């Protein structure tokens, strides 16, 4: 492994970090100014660069920019005693891995550097796999079946019907079927040029075009065929001659047009709108739909004879929730793709965030995952995406197979008489009492693997309904005021459990007229929860913050405010 480079004009900082990293078996090289670092980069490259922000002869931000220009994937940690907003923003905008304020806890700094090293090693492996990215991705058995089917159909011109949910990639499969067929791009010759030009791939979404225009779009029209037809227009069947016509959402095609399509598929002939001369079509048709065509036939909305004409070979694309093992690979690919499109450095994503993605059901399938990665590229605050950085709708959603119920609704069922604020504050106290089991059940900042129900240990206790729920708007905002930055699992209903103790405590304080009930219970909630997390992680603050779903700065500030320092 390459050495860790530490850049700081303060000799004591260099000494402390060198000794601490050496104890962890890291090789360290220290520098006192940016000029020496840039000179050394001509000969070697570090595994991780740790740099002060203000030094004689240049700043850490300037060094960061020059290093990132030459080595975009190199993790750079910026240290500074000037914990101001501008420095933090400049560091992250420049692509810093993390921002480390001084004075820092040495153990905490070493943990951060170790995490940067791990990320650097993982990225090195991933980059080799992303150099030549295939047109379609998928290691799941269901996707391998699709790939095998495309391979078997590579020398065929047979009609194919692709079924699958919206966003699952049906048009990508149609493109692949065309490309690898005799109508697609032909193998290249010795000089690198195609031996012969392939036929066109023409796509049309039959559900996106008004019924009155769809016939003209498909078959074309003659001049004067209708008002506005100023010139003769070739339709999609003519445009796709010699190639492939992809009819997306075929299940929404108007019934009367289905008859004309059936004629084309039967004898290869059609007429333009307003035309009298038959035209011959040499087109391979690939159709796709997210609907159940057999049910549409039973309802009388789709012609049975057209269904059988299209249903020669059927390919079913799995939903993303059926191929969860592909989510990490797809996520990294889409993050790279988004970064390339936007002209920025690609974001990296932690295992905890990938675990959270892996249990989301993705009703929009691969298209939704791609949109999330685009959102993260623009909106994630740091170069490393953590679970708490994921979009709000994903954080508010429950784990796979579990309903996402607003916590306020669950509490209302258990505490119908408690006032709203008191109930919420008291909920924190009771939740803190349940923290040890919940934190031990978590095991890691991520969520359970695909298909597993994320039910904390305390939710399965006697008298507690074993149903997972997460905080969703509007209940998340009051807890954020307590310092929580992520979502907190909570049982939906609980009779004879800790919620009853919570209700009694909240009621006692409120009815006795105690002042500042909210602040008092909030302090108890936060103190107990943080104390328990630190106990579970044996005092490791970064790990405790990750398990709690809050930021490292938040847990440090709360420890100081609540007097929890050792």
In this prediction, residue 427 carries a pLDDT of 41
Picking from 175, 135, 138, the residue whose alpha carbon sits closest to that of residue 322 is 138
Same fold, 4-130 and 141-317: yes
Who has greater pLDDT, 399 or 262? 262
Residues 6+ apart with CB under 8 A from 213: none
The structure tokens listed for 488 are: 């907190």
Of 50-64, 84-98, 149-163, 368-382, which one has max mean pLDDT?
368-382
pLDDT at 92 over 70: no
Of 227-231, 238-242, 427-431, 503-507, which one has max mean pLDDT?
238-242
In this prediction, residue 543 carries a pLDDT of 81
In this prediction, residue 493 carries a pLDDT of 42
pLDDT at 306 over 80: yes
Strands 58-59 and 54-55: antiparallel
Strands 58-59 and 244-248: unpaired
Partnered with residue 280 across adjacent β-strands are 269
Q: Mean pLDDT, to the nearest integer, of 334-357?
A: 88
Domain 321-395 indexed as CATH 1.10.8.60:
yes
Residues 6+ apart with CB under 8 A from 343: none
Least confident of 212-226, 366-380, 473-487: 473-487
Report d(CA 288, CA 309) in Å as an integer: 13
Who has greater pLDDT, 469 or 127? 127
Who has greater pLDDT, 81 or 346? 346
pLDDT at 476 over 70: no
In this prediction, residue 48 carries a pLDDT of 92
Which DSSP string corresponds to 395-436? HSSPPTTS----HHHHHHHH-TTS-HHHHHHHHHHHHHHTHH
Report d(CA 14, CA 37) in Å as an integer: 14
Exposure string (b/e) for 23-44, b if CB count within 10 Å is 16 or more? eeebebbbbbbbeebbeebeee
Query: Out of 3.30.70.600, 3.20.20.140, 3.40.50.300, 3.40.50.12780, which CATH number does the structure's domain 141-317 have?
Result: 3.40.50.300
* 439-467 residue pLDDT tens: 444 443 333 333 333 333 323 333 333 33
With beta carbons less than 8 A apart as the criterion, state whether 557 and 494 touch: no
* 178-190 residue pLDDT tens: 988 888 755 444 4
pLDDT band for position 164 (50/70/90)?
Answer: very high
In this prediction, residue 65 carries a pLDDT of 85
With beta carbons less than 8 A apart as the criterion, state whether 67 and 74 touch: yes
Which region holds residue 513: left if phi is over 0, alpha if psi is between -120 and 50, else beta?
left
In this prediction, residue 459 carries a pLDDT of 32
With beta carbons less than 8 A apart as the criterion, state whether 218 and 261 touch: yes
Report d(CA 353, CA 384) in Å as an integer: 10
pLDDT at 298 over 90: yes
Report d(CA 496, CA 499) in Å as an integer: 8
pLDDT band for position 422 (50/70/90)?
Answer: very low
Report d(CA 317, CA 437) in Å as an integer: 40
Picking from 174, 177, 198, the residue whose alpha carbon sits closest to that of residue 187 is 198
Helix (H) or strand (E) holding 248: strand 244-248
Report d(CA 439, CA 252) in Å as an integer: 49
Picking from 407, 406, 416, 438, the residue whose alpha carbon sits closest to that of residue 500 is 416
* 218-276 residue pLDDT tens: 998 888 877 777 788 888 999 998 899 999 999 999 988 998 899 888 888 888 888 88
Report d(CA 242, CA 391) in Å as an integer: 45
In this prediction, residue 392 carries a pLDDT of 85
Least confident of 217-221, 280-284, 389-393, 493-497: 493-497
Q: What is the mean pLDDT of the chain?
A: 76
User: What does DSSP assign to residue 388?
Assistant: G
Q: Largest Cα–Cα distance of the chain, in whole Å?
A: 92
Strand, helix or coil for residue 35: helix
Helix (H) or strand (E) holding 480: helix 476-481
Partnered with residue 285 across adjacent β-strands are 245
User: What does DSSP assign to residue 99?
Assistant: E
The residue ranges of every structural domain in the chain are 4-130, 141-317, 321-395, 407-561
In this prediction, residue 413 carries a pLDDT of 32
Report d(CA 173, CA 506) in Å as an integer: 58
Percent of the chain with pLDDT over 90: 24
In this prediction, residue 100 carries a pLDDT of 82
Q: Mean pLDDT, to the nearest integer, of 165-188?
A: 83
With beta carbons less than 8 A apart as the criterion, state whether 467 and 379 touch: no
pLDDT at 22 over 50: yes
Helices 420-433, 407-414: axis angle to 10 degrees equals 90
Strand, helix or coil for residue 443: coil
Who has greater pLDDT, 561 or 494? 561
Q: How many CA atoms lie within 13 A of 387 on its CB side?
A: 28
Query: Out of 3.80.30.10, 3.40.50.2300, 3.90.1150.10, 3.90.76.10, which CATH number does the structure's domain 4-130 have?
Result: 3.40.50.2300
With 0-12 / 13-18 / 19 or more C-beta atoms within 10 angstroms meaning exposed / middle / buried, residue 297 is middle
H-type helices in 41-140, by residue range? 60-70, 85-93, 106-130
């Amino acid at each position: 492994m390459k050495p860790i480079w530490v850049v700081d004009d303060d000799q004591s900082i260099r000494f402390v970090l060198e000794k601490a990293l050496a104890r962890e078996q890291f090789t360290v090289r220290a520098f006192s100014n940016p000029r020496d670092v840039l000179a050394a980069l001509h000969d070697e490259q570090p595994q991780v660069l740790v740099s002060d922000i203000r030094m004689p002869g240049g700043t850490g931000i300037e060094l960061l920019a020059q290093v990132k220009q030459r080595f975009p994937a190199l993790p750079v940690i910026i240290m500074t005693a000037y914990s101001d907003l501008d420095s933090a923003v400049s560091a992250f905008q420049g692509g810093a891995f993390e921002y480390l304020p001084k004075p820092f806890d040495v153990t905490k700094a070493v943990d951060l550097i170790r995490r940067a090293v791990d990320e650097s090693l993982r990225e090195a492996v991933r980059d080799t796999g992303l150099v030549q990215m295939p047109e379609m991705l998928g290691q799941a058995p269901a996707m391998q079946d699709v790939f095998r089917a495309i391979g078997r159909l590579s020398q065929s011109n047979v009609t194919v019907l692709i079924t699958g949910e919206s966003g699952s990639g049906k048009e990508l499969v149609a493109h692949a079927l065309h490309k690898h067929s005799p109508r697609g791009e032909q193998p290249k010759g010795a000089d690198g040029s195609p031996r012969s030009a392939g036929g066109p791939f023409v796509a049309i979404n039959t559900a996106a075009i008004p019924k009155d225009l769809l016939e003209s779009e498909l078959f074309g029209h003659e001049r004067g065929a209708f008002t506005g037809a100023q010139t003769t227009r070739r339709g999609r069947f003519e445009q796709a001659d010699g190639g492939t016509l992809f009819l997306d959402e075929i299940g929404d095609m108007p019934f009367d047009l289905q008859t004309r399509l059936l004629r084309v598929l039967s004898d290869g002939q059609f007429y333009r709108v307003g035309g009298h001369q038959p035209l011959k079509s040499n087109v391979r048709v690939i159709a796709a739909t997210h609907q159940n065509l057999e049910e549409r036939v039973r309802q009388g909305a789709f012609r049975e004879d057209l269904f059988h004409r299209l249903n020669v070979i059927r390919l079913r694309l799995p939903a993303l929730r059926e191929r969860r093992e592909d989510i990490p690979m797809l996520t990294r690919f889409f993050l790279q793709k988004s970064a390339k499109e936007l002209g920025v450095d690609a974001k990296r994503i932690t295992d905890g965030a990938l675990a959270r993605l892996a249990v989301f059901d993705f009703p929009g399938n691969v298209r939704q995952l791609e949109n999330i990665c685009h959102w993260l590229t623009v909106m994630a605050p740091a170069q490393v995406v953590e679970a708490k950085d994921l979009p709000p709708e994903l954080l508010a959603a429950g784990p796979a197979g579990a309903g996402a119920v607003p916590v306020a609704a669950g509490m209302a069922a258990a505490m119908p008489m408690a006032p709203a604020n008191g109930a919420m504050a008291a909920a924190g106290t009771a939740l803190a009492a349940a923290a040890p089991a919940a934190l031990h059940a978590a095991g890691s900042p991520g969520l359970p693997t695909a298909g597993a129900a994320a039910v904390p240990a305390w939710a399965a206790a006697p008298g507690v309904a074993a149903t997972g729920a997460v905080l969703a708007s509007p209940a998340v905002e009051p807890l954020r005021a307590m310092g929580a930055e992520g979502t907190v699992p909570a049982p939906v209903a609980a009779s004879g459990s800790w919620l009853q103790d919570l209700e009694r405590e909240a009621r006692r304080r409120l009815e006795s007229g105690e002042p500042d009930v909210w602040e008092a219970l909030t302090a108890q909630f936060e103190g107990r929860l943080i104390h328990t997390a630190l106990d579970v992680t044996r005092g490791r603050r970064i790990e405790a913050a990750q398990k709690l779903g809050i930021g490292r700065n938040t847990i440090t500030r709360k420890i100081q405010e609540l007097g929890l320092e050792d």
